[in-house]
Amino acid sequence: MDRHAHWQGVYEDKGETEVSWFQEHPASSLALIRDTGLGSDARIIDIGGGASRLVDHLIELGFRSIAVLDIASAALEQARHRLGERAAQVEWLVADVTAWTPPARFDLWHDRAVFHFLTDPADRAAYAATMAAAVPKGGHAIIGTFALDGPERCSGLPIRRYDADGLAAEFSRNFDPVAAMAEDHFTPAGKVQRFLFRRLRRR
């Protein structure tokens, strides 16, 4: 599958509030970010951030060094348009995270619902290696995926579901588990999707 073509098509065909993963207020992500204790000068990257509104909240909280990476430029354009002049405060990166070389280190790596699309072990290994290269010792990572009782597919694609131990194990070579959080996400269509979040610390 051409991942870029798939996700570019999704965001060219749908508005940000029409996709199943839309959240007006990403409460779980914000709570886990708060729990890291990072200050406003921390470097944060949102992997697969697309048109997510997490970046809006991070700006409002006073974070001054934010990057958003997505494989689909159309997704990032939606976010830039929504933010208007505030978009200039964000670094926008178009890339496939499994084939990306981080240009800098980030104190916090955040990913809600990219990793669970990586059903190929080679892609998961590449992702984990990139995350380890991007996050310095003592840095933080927050990964959100569908839980074991979550959906088996999303956006027409198969996904890989996780429990807390299984998700932590994917990154155990370089990261220690710190906390886990479950979330019932309500889609714009009113369906419930069960998510699992893991907060990790770079060893």
Say what the pLDDT of residue 48 is: 98
pTM confidence score: 0.97
C-alpha span between 140 and 32 (Å, rounded) = 10
Say what the pLDDT of residue 196 is: 98
C-alpha span between 120 and 125 (Å, rounded) = 9
Other beta carbons within 10 angstroms of residue 87's beta carbon come to 17
What single-letter amino acid sits at 114? V
Say what the pLDDT of residue 51 is: 96
Could you tell me the domains of the chain? 3-202 (3.40.50.150)
Say what the pLDDT of residue 6 is: 97
- Longest Cα–Cα distance of the chain, Å, equals 42
Q: Mind listing the pLDDT tens digit for each residue in 160-173?
A: 999 999 999 999 99
Q: Mind listing the pLDDT tens digit for each residue in 5-34?
A: 999 999 999 999 999 999 999 999 999 999
* Sequence-ordered alpha helix ranges (H) in the chain: 3-13, 27-36, 54-60, 73-83, 121-134, 164-169
